[in-house]
């Protein structure tokens, strides 16, 4: 590498640093402003490119609130409107927030169940608009809310690299603090939200789906198995979570499918996704 090449690379890094610090200054000026989420996306994009971003606020298993997004109409219909109807209950990011995950930056693949990428939730819903990789910034602890900002890359882009993750994790503590400052000014988070039991909401949603189709109710254990199957857990993973054998899980699945008069996970997911979530 020649000295001219080194000098050029050094100059580009310096220019990027200057742009980054200028963007941070602009982001701080937008705290408390409706323009803050768009400014946050633009600031992050200076370091790591992505195709879409969406910010949801979760409060227990209640229907999430979309705070900001950069989707087109088709993506919005799937990733916001359809998501709010019930699929959010199966989302690894939602599950992580409901389970009290710590503030930080997390990759979808790190939080997803073992069979998530083979699940019907992923295959027939999640990839309809093409995202293949996703990273999220979690900010729990705003009253009873958790705010999750997701960065998505579509199938035409490479997945987030190790360099991308290092860059985001380096600035994450600073971005998290600035973002906390902003969302603490939002009056929507100051209302008292009654906490619900996440498992009970999922059970009720599934039972409502069955009742609307004249299908007999499932037992509490069968409902647990249905929920975990929909989330993308294998029989072995379900067995570990419920403290039963994988063979018993398979018997439960066979009985569930017989009761529901279905033969595949795709049909199970279709019943679930077409029924409004409880309280919606």
- Please tell us whether the domain made up of 7-189 is placed in CATH 3.30.450.80: yes
pLDDT digits (tens, 9 = 90+) for 158-202: 899 999 999 999 999 999 999 999 998 888 787 655 556 667 777
Residue 196 pLDDT: 62
Over residues 27-54, mean pLDDT: 94
Q: Taking the model in full, what pTM does it have?
A: 0.79
End-to-end CA separation in angstroms for the chain: 61
The helix-helix angle for 246-260 and 220-231 (nearest 10°) equals 100
Q: What is the mean pLDDT of the chain?
A: 84
Residue 2 pLDDT: 53
Contact present, 180 and 243 (Cβ < 8 Å): no
Token pair for residue 123? 């295959």
Q: Which residues pair with 25 in a beta bridge?
A: none
Strand order in the sheet with 65-69: 65-69, 52-58, 145-154, 131-142, 104-107
Residues in the chain: 280
Domain boundaries, the chain: 7-189, 198-273
Specify the fold of 198-273: Arc Repressor Mutant, subunit A (1.10.10)
Q: Which long-range contacts (CB under 8 A, 24 or more apart) does 156-161 make?
A: 156/130, 157/49, 157/51, 157/132, 157/133, 159/132, 159/133, 160/48, 160/107, 160/133, 160/135
Residue 138 pLDDT: 95
| pLDDT exceeds cutoff 60 at 276 | no
Residue 274 pLDDT: 62
């Amino acid at each position: 590498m020649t000295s001219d090449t080194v000098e050029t690379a050094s100059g580009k890094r310096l220019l990027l640093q200057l742009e980054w610090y200028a963007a941070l200054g602009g982001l701080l000026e937008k705290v408390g402003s409706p323009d803050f989420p768009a400014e946050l996306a633009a600031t992050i994009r200076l370091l790591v490119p992505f195709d879409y971003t969406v910010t949801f606020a979760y409060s227990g298993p209640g229907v999430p609130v979309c705070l900001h997004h950069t989707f087109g109409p088709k993506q919005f219909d799937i990733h916001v409107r359809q998501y709010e109807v019930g699929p959010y209950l199966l989302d690894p990011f939602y599950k992580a927030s409901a389970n009290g995950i710590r503030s930080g930056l997390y990759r979808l693949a790190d939080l997803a169940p073992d069979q998530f990428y083979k699940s019907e939730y992923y295959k027939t819903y999640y990839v309809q608009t093409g995202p293949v990789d996703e990273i999220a910034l979690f900010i729990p602890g705003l009253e009873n809310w958790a705010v999750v900002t997701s960065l998505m890359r579509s199938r035409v882009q490479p997945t987030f690299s190790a360099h991308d993750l290092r860059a985001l994790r380096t600035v994450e503590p600073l971005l998290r603090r600035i973002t906390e400052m902003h969302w603490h000014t939002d009056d929507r988070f100051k209302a008292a939200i009654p906490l619900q039991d996440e498992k009970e909401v999922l059970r009720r949603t599934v039972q409502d789906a069955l009742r609307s189709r004249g299908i007999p109710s499932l037992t509490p254990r069968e409902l647990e198995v249905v929920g975990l199957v929909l989330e993308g857990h294998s029989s072995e993973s379900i067995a570990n979570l419920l403290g039963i054998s994988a063979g018993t899980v398979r018997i439960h699945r066979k009985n569930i499918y017989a009761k529901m008069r279905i033969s595949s996970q795709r049909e199970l997911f279709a019943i679930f996704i077409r029924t409004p979530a409880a309280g919606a």
